[in-house]
Amino acid sequence: MVGCILKKVVLIILILILAGIIIFKPKENAVGAGLALTCPVPDMNQSDIPPAYDYKQYKTVKLLHTVTGEVEEVPLDEYLYGVVAAEMPASYNIEALKAQAVVARTYTIYMIIDGKKFDNADVSDDPNTCQAWISKEDRLAKWNENERDSNWNKITEAVNSTVGKIITYDGSPIDAFFCANNGGKSEIPINVWGGINYPYLQVVATAGEDAYPQYSSEVSISKEELIQKLKQYHNNIQIDFTKDKPIEILSYTLADRVKTVRFGNVEISGVEARTILGLKSADFSFNISGDSVTFNVTGYGHGVGMSQTGADTIAKEGGTYEDIINHFYIGVQIVDI
């Protein structure tokens, strides 16, 4: 009986050796020369393994891939690697990236709890309807080869070093809006989407926004093209450029964005004008010259919540991710979920 068992064990070992699963490796620094059985260990990037943390019912997130329609269930912090990599440049200060990680984790938990935006998923990879997301493979392909490892390690460090952290107000996760560049002042939600305001989303000033390319942009359009674009949404519009003030900004928000603007006989919100004309924000002025209308735009995005360039500025001045979060979100707490 024992002999049969030994034969079977030897046979199994031979099969594993031939398959390359077990190899012989000379012993080193040992008394007497010999061979040891070892199993090859696959190469693993340790930064891709989030620290152990009990997220309870929030261990995974259901991610909708908009191109394929597939819904993938992904561990929460692994999902956040892709969000931070898609939403903020890896060149930004590590404290800004940490703030982005906490904001993204908070937004994700808020979406899971809310559960209303997508039928079979918690979040989407479409930045027009949710926060952006990119796979590691696609993100690495977009970076220069000599920056790939360091950039990815920086992204994962931002997520891993803030594991479990979310932002709350009165004990509940906040709706953690953020934008690329707020032009120097953040906006309140009611001026962008209507509805109600949130006490933690107020107008706050941020220095240093003008040091980034996202701060200013320009859009020039012919008078005829301007009328045609507006007619797609307001078919009764008429603009007589021979009259005084054919276009007029009527009011501003407390954050100095355009609240209402009149084009000829039609008044619309600054946010709608931004959408129709493809402007980067609702903080704009204009100039009419010859056959063209030029819009000079300040900031990039809706302006609500954390400004990413503002976060980087605060971090460069020595601020921590907690300082950044408490600057843009008023009266909040940073807690372990």
- β-strands 306-307, 178-179 pairing: parallel
CB of 278 within 8 A of CB of 248?
Answer: no
**Cβ partners under 8 Å of residue 87, min gap 6:** 100, 104, 127, 131, 132, 178, 308
- d(CA 303, CA 300) in angstroms, rounded, equals 7
Retrieve residue 246's tokens: 């054919």
Q: Tell me: pLDDT of 83 over 60.
A: yes
Q: Tell me: pLDDT of 6 over 70.
A: no
Write out the E strands in 39-156. Answer: 60-64, 71-75, 123-124
pLDDT tens digits, one per residue of 116-163: 778 889 999 999 889 999 999 999 999 999 999 999 999 999 999 999
- d(CA 252, CA 230) in angstroms, rounded, equals 21
The candidate with the shortest Cα–Cα distance to 188, out of 272, 302, 274, is: 302
Q: Tell me: pLDDT of 260 over 80.
A: yes
Residue 45 has what pLDDT? 59
pLDDT tens digits, one per residue of 103-129: 999 999 999 998 777 888 999 999 988
- d(CA 227, CA 231) in angstroms, rounded, equals 6
Residue 109 has what pLDDT? 95
Retrieve residue 279's tokens: 């402007």
- β-strands 165-169, 178-179 pairing: unpaired
Q: Tell me: pLDDT of 71 over 80.
A: yes
Mean pLDDT confidence for 81-107? 98
pTM over 0.95: no
The candidate with the shortest Cα–Cα distance to 207, out of 184, 186, 187, is: 184
State residue 113 phi and psi, 5-degree precision: -65, -45
**Cβ partners under 8 Å of residue 283, min gap 6:** 183, 255, 256, 257, 258, 297, 298, 299, 303
Q: Tell me: pLDDT of 19 over 90.
A: no
Residue type, 271: V
Retrieve residue 235's tokens: 């078919």
Task: Report how far Cα 299 is from the mean position of its chain's Cα atoms.
Answer: 17
The candidate with the shortest Cα–Cα distance to 302, out of 223, 210, 201, 228, is: 201
CB of 166 within 8 A of CB of 331?
Answer: no
Q: At what angle do helices 321-328 and 94-114 cross, to 10 degrees?
A: 50
Mean pLDDT confidence for 48-66? 86
Q: Tell me: pLDDT of 25 over 80.
A: no
Element (H, E) at 122: none
pLDDT tens digits, one per residue of 152-196: 999 999 999 999 999 999 999 999 999 999 999 999 999 999 988
Residue 126 has what pLDDT? 93
Residue type, 331: G
**Cβ partners under 8 Å of residue 276, min gap 6:** 229, 230, 232, 233, 268
Retrieve residue 210's tokens: 């003008």
Integer-rounded Cα Rg, in Å, for the chain is: 27
Average pLDDT of the chain to the nearest whole number = 88
pLDDT tens digits, one per residue of 285-326: 999 999 999 999 999 999 999 999 999 999 999 999 999 999
Task: Say what percent of the chain tops pLDDT 70.
Answer: 86
